[in-house]
Structure formats: structure tokens, C-alpha cells
Amino acid sequence: MVATVTHVEVREYMNNVYENVKKRDPHETEFLQAVQMLFEALVPVFSENPSYMESGLLERFVEPERLITFQVPWIDDEGIVQVNRGFRVQFNGAIGPYKGGIRFHPSVNASIIKFLGFQQTIKNALTGQAMGGGKGGADFDPKGKSDLEIMRFCQSYMTELSKYIGPNLDVPAGDIGVGPREIGYMFGQYKRLRGQFEAGVFTGKPIDFGGSIGRTEATGYGAIYFVEQLLQDRGESLKGSKVIISGSGNVSIYAMEKAIKLGARIVACSDSSGYVYDENGLSLKSIKQIKLAESGRIKEYVKTHPEAKFNKNSAGIWSVPCELAIPCATQNEMDAASARRLVKNGVKVIAEGANMPCTPEAIKIFHDNDVLFGPAQAVNAGGVAVSYLEMAQNSARVAWSFERVDEELQKIMETIYRNCMNASEQYGEPGNFVLGASIVGFERIAKAMLMQGVI
Ligand code: NDP
């Protein structure tokens, strides 16, 4: 057996695996994009470990262990029966129970759920905790629905999903369109169906029945802890920097909160109908009031802040000059043209708060122009890491303080940063966090898969 194989040979092998994935599901563009991005980053590690190629590891890794698709019927306020499509992917359970959020959004389909579950698997491994990867959702649009409609939908979704989840099997959480309210309704239905209070079956629960303090803030805060570590390592900090954060949902708002606490100025944020901009810094209090309390639109910001400007092209946010850009809205929200504009305007750091918000072309532009780039699997791992702490608290029947959760989160984000940095150095591309995150996450799973055998 040869000790190493060339990058060319590895690429040829990976290309074959990729072509088979593509042949099976040619229309799953987001999933194929995620597979291609991971393969590219894993070339050096496969080159040094030819046994990975011989064991069919990659072929197994790209095929979800289970993909569940189901009908979600529900009755709207007019008494009309509506039908949506529900999903749960249990991607890889080599290192622990499947874990990953549930997304309610009209764009949800098998491709979106599979790309999210695939990347979640790497992310969960990167945290160092014992979690496999999963993801779920439905093509249901919560916008404009009454509270009762949301409740009926959540109950119907859980009536089916409850057959496939459990505290030691698969533990969902929230994502786009799913917050503590939806989790409360789903948890309530699960409890009724099981006849037991199994707190550990869900994370992101309201604090009143088993949720962890600090989970709401965790993804956004964690993203900023990662960025601060990255800057500190280079003798810099967020203090006084100009930052753009897209979106104005859970991840975005708490990323803004922590960045402001560390002295940054947030000059722009957005929602799906446009972005607001103020060179002197946006008021987070007003944004929270609009988006959290009233579920309003971001354009309302200019009503109380006439000094700010509203632009109805959401993607235009990337033309605002800044030093740091943190996309926290959705997949592929930042393309090559946006990346070029950011580079031209002198951006220094891009950190992905959302999942796969930057296209591969955009990432290449950042790498080619020495812009520091933090990929989602590392940057937004704080959410799932605190979910794991929620599971730990539920098992021990204890509730930690905010300070303790936050301290753990900081430690986890620093470790993730350090591990990615070390791996990028070890494989000859210091500062390439896409490479670092992919290698650290994949190697942990690969070792577990090899030790557990096939069949
Ligand atoms: P939310 O639903 O709370 O917020 C999403 C925000 O993005 C909303 O403000 C939404 O606006 C906005 N948005 C959606 N599409 C666009 C667009 N094309 N352009 C601009 N803004 C847009 O979701 P989360 O904050 O929970 O999730 C955001 C991202 O972070 C997702 O990729 C998610 O998978 C990822 N993530 C979330 C975690 C969590 O703990 N919540 C953990 C790890 C990753 P509108 O109101 O108009 O729809």
C-alpha cells in the first residue's frame, strides 16, 4: 500500500464520487454545491490518508443515513385544508445522536435540507461534542399566519416527526421561521403523543420548560467570539470597526449586540425586502423593537430614524463600505459581484453567520485577495454548541447561569478557532479556515466511521 497519493489522483477519485451523487440527484443544486466545497477542502487530507479512499468513506458520507419526507396537512383559519411537505434528514450519526434545526420557509426542499444536514454534520463534529448531523423543515411560510394556524401546523408536523426523534436518537432545534414559540408547540405535541416529559428531545426550548439561558444569543455571540479571536491573533480587535450584518433575525440581532458591546459600529442590516444604512451606526434598540417585538419590516426603521436610508434591494447591502461583513440571512446571499464590491471597498474579514451564505466564487475572490474568511461550519457553531449544553443541563436536571453558559461558549469558539487555524497550518495553507474546519470536522467523523465498521 502506498503511503500517500497525489492531489491529482485524489481529485480524480473525488470527481467520480461527485458525479455519482450528481447522477442520483441532479436537481439538488445546493446539496451538490456543499458536497463540492467539502471535497475541495479535503483533498490534502485524503492525499495523506489513502485508507480513506479504500474504505468507501466518502461514498458513505455523502449519502444521508435516512431522509424522511412526509405530508403535513393542517386547517387554516377559513376552515380550508392546506397541505405542506415536511422533511427530516438524519445525515450521519457516527459520533452521537442526530442534531440540527428545523426550518419553516417556502424555499425548503430536499436539496436545502440535505445541504444543511451535510454541513451540520461537519459543524457538530467541530464543536468537539458528541452530536451527529441532521436537519429538518417544511415548505410552510409562517409569514402572515395567525398564531392558531402556526400552532396547528406545528402540531401536524410533529405528529409525523415524533416517530423518528428522541433524546438519544435525533434532537431538533429551531432555524429560519422556527423560534421558541414554534418549538413550544412542537414540544407540546411530542409530549402529548409520548405521554412523557422528555426535555432532551428538543433544544432552543423556552427557558420555562427546560430551555438554556443563553441559547437565544449563542449563534450570534459565538460568531463574534470567533471573529474577535481571529482579529486578536493578528493584533487587532473589533473596537472602532465598521461592520455590516445582513438579516435581522435571531443570528443577526445577537451578532450585532455582541459586536456593539465590543466597540464596533453596525452601519447596515437587512431583511428579505431591503436594507437600512446609517454611516454613524444603527440603533439596535430600534431594530429589536421592529423585528423582535412587532415582527415588522426593516424599512420601518427609517420612520423613527430619518437620518438612515432604506434601499429595497437586499443584496445591495454588500455595496456599503465596511471592514467586516457578516452575512447572517440565508444561503447564497453573497455572490461574486458582491464579493468584488466588498474587496474594492477594503473589506478585511468575512464571517458566515448564516449557513452557506457565500457562493464558492465569492469565497475564491476573498481567498485570492487575502481577505480573512470564516466559514459557517466554524463561525455559527456556537448555536448548536449551546444546544448541547442545553441537553447536558436537561439530563442532569439543572439550570446553569447565563455567565456559565457564556463562558463555555467563549471557550468552545476559541477552541474551534484554534483547531481550524492549526489544521490550516498543518496542511500548508495557514489562515484557510474552509480547509481547517472541513478537515477537523471530517477527520473526527471519519475515525468514528472507520472504527464502527460497515453494515
Ligand atoms: P431568522 O428567521 O430568525 O432570520 C432570518 C433573517 O434573514 C430575517 O431577518 C429574514 O428576513 C432575513 N432574510 C431572509 N432572506 C433574506 C435575503 N435574501 N436577504 C436579506 N435578508 C434575508 O433565522 P436565523 O437568524 O435563525 O437564521 C439565519 C441563518 O443562520 C440561516 O442560514 C440559519 O440556517 C443559520 N443558523 C441559525 C442558527 C440559529 O441558532 N438560529 C444556528 C446556525 C445557523 P425576513 O424577515 O424578511 O424573512
Sign for the pseudo-dihedral over CA of 409, 317, 421, 379: positive
* Of 99, 219, 284, best ligand 1 pocket probe by most atoms within 8 Å of the beta carbon: 219
Is 103 within the bounds of a domain?
A: yes
In a domain, 203, yes or no: no
| DSSP character string of 151-214 | HHHHHHHHHHHTTT-BTTTEEEE-BTTB-HHHHHHHHHHHHHHHTS--GGG-SS--GGGTPPTT
Provide the phi-psi class of 266: left if phi over 0, else alpha when psi is between -120 and 50, else beta: beta
Q: In 262-344, which ranges are E strands?
A: 265-271, 274-277, 309-311, 324-326
Q: Are residues 221 and 362 in the same domain?
A: yes
CB 270 near ligand 1, within 6 Å: yes
In terms of domains, do 143 and 91 share one? yes
Question: What number does the ligand 1 atom closest to the CA of 177 have?
Answer: 2
- Tens digit of pLDDT for each residue in 185-218? 999 999 999 999 999 999 999 999 999 999 999 9
pLDDT at 301 over 70: yes
* Of residues 168, 175, 179, 174, the one with CA closest to residue 201: 168
| Domain co-membership, 241 together with 358 | yes
Q: What is the pLDDT of residue 4?
A: 82
User: Looking at the domain assignment, is residue 146 inside a domain?
Assistant: yes
Is the Cβ–Cβ distance between 430 and 242 less than 8 Å?
no
> Within this chain, do residues 222 and 347 fall inside the same structural domain, yes or no?
yes
Whether the pLDDT of residue 316 is over 80: the answer is yes
Residue 76 in any domain: the answer is yes
**Cα separations in angstroms, 140 against 80, 196, 291:** 15, 28, 20
- Distance, CA 54 to ligand 1 centroid (Å)? 40
Residues 222 and 332 in one domain: yes
Indicate whether 393 belongs to any domain. Answer: no
CA dihedral 270, 211, 155, 143 (to 10 degrees): -10
Look at residue 292 in the predicted model and tell me its pLDDT: 79
Q: Convert the pLDDT of each residue in 26-71 to its tens digit.
A: 999 999 999 999 999 999 999 999 889 988 999 999 999 999 999 9
Any idea what the Cα angle at residue 111 is, between residues 64 and 173, rounded to 5°?
70
- pLDDT of 1 over the 80 cut: no
The mean pLDDT value of the chain amounts to 96
225 phi, psi to nearest 5 deg: -60, -40
Does residue 228 lie within any of the structural domains? yes
pLDDT digits (tens, 9 = 90+) for 322-375: 999 999 999 999 999 999 999 999 999 999 999 999 999 999 999 999 999 999
- The confidence score (pLDDT) of residue 435 equals 97
Q: How many CB atoms lie within 10 A of CB 402?
A: 11
Per-residue pLDDT at 232: 96
pLDDT of residue 142: 96
Question: Are 313 and 448 found together in one domain?
Answer: no
pLDDT for residue 59: 96
pLDDT tens figures, 418-434 = 999 999 999 999 999 99
Which residue's CA is the closest to the ligand 1 atom numbered 33? 354
Q: Which of 116, 120, 176 to mutate to test the pocket of ligand 1 (most atoms within 8 A of CB)?
A: 176
Residues 369 and 237 both lie in one domain: yes
Residue nearest to atom 5 of ligand 1 (CA): 249
- Dihedral over Cα of 43, 89, 219, 406: its sign: negative
Residue 69 CA, ligand 1 centroid: distance in Å: 23
117: nearest Cα among 137, 134, 131, 140: 134
Task: Name 69's bridge partners.
Answer: 87
Q: Taking 90 as the threshold, does the pLDDT of residue 436 lie above it?
A: yes
The CATH number linked to 114 is 3.40.50.10860
Find out whether the beta carbon of 251 lies less than 6 Å from any atom of ligand 1: yes
**Amino acid 389: pLDDT:** 98
Are residue 80 and residue 186 in the same domain, yes or no? yes
Active site residue ranges: 135
**For the chain, how long is the longest CA-to-CA vector?**
70
Q: Is beta strand 81-92 parallel, antiparallel or unpaired with respect to 66-75?
A: antiparallel
Is the beta carbon of 394 within 6 A of some atom in ligand 1? no
Q: Tell me, what's the pLDDT at 2?
A: 52
- Tens of pLDDT, residues 145-176: 999 999 999 999 999 999 999 999 999 999 99
| Residue 76 Cα to chain centre, angstroms | 31
Last residue of a domain, one of 150, 169, 197: 197
pLDDT score of 154:
98
Q: Report the pLDDT value the prediction gives residue 379, as an integer from 0 to 100.
A: 98
Of 31, 56, 203, 225, which Cα lies nearest the Cα of 129?
203
Q: Which domain holds residue 361?
A: 217-374
| Ligand 1 pocket residue status of 247, Cβ below 6 Å | yes
Q: 100 and 51 in one domain?
A: no
- Count of other CB atoms within 10 angstroms of residue 395: 11
The CATH number of whichever domain residue 296 belongs to comes to 3.40.50.720
Looking up residue 442, the CATH number of its domain turns out to be: 1.10.285.10
Phi and psi, residue 257, nearest 5°: -60, -50
> Long-range contacts: 334-338, Cβ < 8 Å, 24+?
334/246, 334/358, 334/359, 334/362, 335/359, 335/361, 335/362, 336/361, 336/362, 336/365, 338/362
Asked if residue 31 and residue 112 are part of one domain, the reply reads: no
Question: Does residue 346 belong to any structural domain of this protein?
Answer: yes
In a domain, 207, yes or no: no
- Ligand 1 neighbourhood includes 246 CB (under 6 angstroms): yes
Number of domains the chain is built from: 3
Task: Report CA(105)–ligand 1 centroid distance (Å).
Answer: 10
Residue 340 and residue 276 share a domain = yes
Cell numbers linked to 41: 477542502
Residue 294 has pLDDT above 70, yes or no: no
- 31 and 74 fall within a common domain: no
